[in-house]
Amino acid sequence: MQQISSFQSDGGKLYLVPTPIGNLDDMTYRAIQTLKDVDLIAAEDTRHTQMLLNHFDIHTPSISFHEHNTAERIPQLIQRLKKGQSIAQCSDAGMPSISDPGKELVAACVQAGIPVVPLPGPNAGLTALIASGLVPQPFYFYGFLDRKHQQQIAELDQLKNHPETLIFYEAPHRLKKTLQVMQEVFGEQRQVVLARELTKRYEEFLRGSLQDANEWAQQNEIRGEFVILIAGNDHPEVAADEQPQGTPIEQVDAEIARGMNTNAAIKLVAKRLGIKRQALYKDYHQF
């Protein structure tokens, strides 16, 4: 059992620092102090984070850490941490690693025995959930669906019988299309909540059926950021024992048997199980 205490070691530590999702007042005292105290800030977009640092009069140097330089940055950051430096990692908004960069760095620290210290703070999904009026737990945080239509249908199909409230992120320019696909798979009567512009001036909640949401989306210009929450299925069509089972490879085979192509099946099963797509790809093809 690996046991690492966050507060008792003097060596380098990785701090995971959530940042506001719109309202700068949501920055916690501890988050500000941590960003001031660390040796380096690993930021998804250094220019974006610089505005936050300026606002709170923070002068710590920053370095970019995003999905396109993860592989090259991690060894550099781990080296600094091993030398005893402390690093704060943050994304553009909300919690690191939640549909944002971070998880590979955390895994590398865990592997290297470096303490990872998470700070609580802003997160769009949970903020939307607590005001949605939908059943708050159990819930299922899905994040972004795939961008391809067929893949979206396959992903939603896997979720349609879930009894949990479902939480999705979506980019504004894809919202209309995604709501249509959701209606196609979940049916027009399924209840949905659109949580728009959370913590900002034009924050609002739109509640109704998927049919209502699609009518609204057809008639209005879609502006701002949205979390989509879907009520869980009260009357699932399949029994729980028909939910996907077996090893990842068996689940890929099952999806292929249901008509999906191999790559799409690997992607779907990897997302479902929270494992790396490339790793499953390699296992599946026995590289």
Rule CB under 6 A: which residues touch ligand SAM? 21-22, 91, 93-95, 98-100, 123-125, 169-171, 195, 197-200, 225-227
Nearer to ligand SAM by Cβ, of 141 and 281: the residue is 141
Instruction: Kindly state the smallest distance separating residue 243's Cβ from ligand SAM, in Å.
Output: 26
Instruction: Kindly state the smallest distance separating residue 276's Cβ from ligand SAM, in Å.
Output: 19
Nearer to ligand SAM by Cβ, of 81 and 229: the residue is 229
Nearer to ligand SAM by Cβ, of 146 and 283: the residue is 146
Instruction: Kindly state the smallest distance separating residue 224's Cβ from ligand SAM, in Å.
Output: 7
Nearer to ligand SAM by Cβ, of 204 and 215: the residue is 204
Query: Rounded CA gap, 42 and 135, in Å?
Result: 36
Nearer to ligand SAM by Cβ, of 128 and 231: the residue is 128
> End-to-end CA distance of the chain, in Å?
30
Instruction: Kindly state the smallest distance separating residue 267's Cβ from ligand SAM, in Å.
Output: 19
Instruction: Kindly state the smallest distance separating residue 75's Cβ from ligand SAM, in Å.
Output: 24
Structure tokens at 80: 């600094």
Please give the residue whose beta carbon sits closest to ligand SAM in the complex: 94
